[in-house]
Homo-oligomer: A and B are copies of this chain.
Amino acid sequence: MKEHLKITIIGAGSSYTPELIEGLIKRHYELPIGELWLVDIKDGENKVSIIGSLTRRMLEKNNLSHIAVHVTFDRRQALKGADFVCSQFRAGCLEGRIRDERISLKYGMIGQETNGLGGFANACRTIPVALEICREMEALCPDAWLLNFTNPSGMVTEAILKHTKVKVVGLCNVPVIMQKGIASILDADEQDFVLQVAGLNHFIWARQILHEGRDKMQDVMDEILAGNDPLVPSNIPPFEWPAELLCNMRMIPCAYLRYYYTSEDILNQEIKEASGEGTRGEVVKAMEQRLFEIYRNPNLSEKPKELEKRGGQYYSEAACELMSSIYNDKRTIMHINTRNNGAINGLPDDCAVEVSCMITKAGPVPLNVAPFPDDTLRLIQLIKEFESLTVEAAVNGDRHAAHRALILNPLVTTGTVLEKALDETIEANRDHMPQFR
């Protein structure tokens, strides 16, 4: 077993990075890191160098100065021989995200980075870059595991699974928050029960909660219906579920399903925000600026509290636990994006799904997923078809595939409005979507 792991972080100038560093520090006794490579692009020089310095201070404070920290723009050097690669870059930066939100809202649609028109645009910007990184990994670190947090995580993972040989795991904090929320409802330790989730990224349902010999699904749902819903990430508006829907479902939809089950309410809220405090992207951008102000403080040597409001909490938990579970063959049950391979009946074998897996040294082994009720399956199939066509459009620059993808998505308006919105999206992103030329 390797004793000096090389970990490479792509998009290390992200404001999330300190959480990841904190996670690695916490696990230092079980995950022997030798080198840490922080990679970003030239445009992010300022941010990544702030992060580099903070990282060094954090390691030093924890007596881990023996870990070499490299800040670089040379991605190939950083990838060479890496054991784990964490991908958290944002193609087109927050400006791209904000643009997606504003274009969507302009045409009367929800603007969001992983679904609808915004998710489509984000996928088209991101997937070409992700595949480029994977080509380099195939050459420079073919045995490395790629932990992808870059959104839209499900579609990016599917593109990598379909078009490269890289061992990729797609991660998301949504199921982690569900696990923690359920733990708090059950008043149990997180490892004391088996939560099984299934679906697509940002489109999952908790299907089973095994605890002390029983399925506690109904107990947990009763709590949520009673108004105690700790399963919602801080960046999702906490609308109440349609009670009639929820109490008959026998499974718990993840918070992001609010975008589908209460789309009108979300749209109205987004419209209000856009003309007030700003879109989510704009809020995050302001938050990021404040965070970097804090990070640059030379006396800071730990993750600041303020980061928790940022929205992506527990990403680092997922990432660090995954690395450790692979490295130590811990067989923890985690909820990740991986190749379907028959797990969800009614979806193609080669698509990406988000399911609960036992994480072993040889990779994730998905648990069997009980068949979904027909109506929920239809929704999942629809969104997966949107995702797969979006991946096709993103890889080949195929406008027809783009159109077919978007027309299926219930968050996307159809007709002449869609044609105009799609034109504007491609035009506004012309520097980041060369495939559509």
* Chain A residues at the B interface, C-beta cutoff of 8 Å: 108, 194, 196, 208, 210-215, 239, 242, 244-245, 248, 260-266, 326, 329, 331, 341-343, 345, 349, 355, 358, 360-363, 365-371, 374-375, 378-379, 381-382, 385, 389, 399-400, 403-405, 407-408, 410, 413-419
Contact sample, A vs B, 29 pairs, CB 8 Å cutoff: A194-B360, A210-B362, A213-B360, A239-B416, A242-B416, A245-B400, A260-B414, A261-B415, A262-B416, A263-B413, A264-B414, A264-B415, A265-B415, A342-B345, A342-B370, A345-B345, A349-B371, A365-B368, A366-B367, A366-B368, A367-B367, A374-B385, A375-B385, A375-B404, A378-B381, A378-B385, A378-B408, A381-B381, A382-B382
Contact A261 B407 (CB under 8 A): yes
Are B378's CB and A415's CB within 8 A?
no
Which of B368, B408, B415 has a CB less than 8 Å from the CB of A263? Answer: B415
Check B342–A371 contact: CB distance below 8 A.
yes
B399 touches A262 (CB 8 A): no
Within the complex, what minimum Cβ distance (angstroms) separates A201 from chain B?
A: 18
Pair A264/B369 contact, Cβ less than 8 Å: no
CB neighbours of A196 from chain B (8 A): 365
Question: Are B242 and A403 neighbours in the complex by a CB distance under 8 Å?
Answer: yes
| Stoichiometry, copies per complex | 4
Tell me whether B264 and A416 are in contact (CB under 8 A): yes
Q: Which residue on chain B has the smallest CB distance to residue A416?
A: B265
List 3 A-B pairs, minimum CB-CB distance, nearest first. A262-B415, A213-B361, A366-B368
Distance of A338 Cα from B29 Cα, bound (Å):
40
Chain B residue nearest in CB terms to A400: B248
CA–CA, A208 to B363, complex, Å? 12
- B residues in contact with A265, CB < 8 Å: 415-417
Query: In the complex the two chains form, is A379's CB within 8 Å of B365's CB?
Result: no
B361/A341 in contact, CB under 8 A: no
Are the C-beta atoms of B371 and A341 separated by less than 8 Å?
Answer: yes
The minimal Cβ–Cβ distance linking A173 to chain B, given in whole angstroms, is: 23
Question: Which B residue's beta carbon lies closest to that of A239?
Answer: B415
Contacts of A260 in B (CB 8 A): 407, 414
Residues of B within 8 A of A403 (CB): 242, 244-245
Chain B nearest Cβ from A338, distance in angstroms: 10
Partner of A108, one of B208, B214, B264: B264
Known contacts A242-B416, A375-B404; 12 further A-B pairs (Cβ under 8 A): A194-B362, A210-B363, A213-B326, A264-B415, A264-B416, A264-B418, A265-B415, A341-B370, A342-B371, A378-B408, A379-B382, A410-B410
| Inter-chain contact B415/A362, CB cutoff 8 Å | no
Known: A242-B419, A381-B381, A415-B239. Is A210-B365 also a contact (CB below 8 A)? yes
Q: Establish whether residues B362 and A358, one from each chain, have CB atoms under 8 Å apart when the complex forms.
A: no
Nearest-Cβ distance from residue A27 to partner chain B, whole angstroms: 19
Set of chain B residues within 8 Å of A242, measured between Cβ atoms = 403, 407, 415-416, 418-419
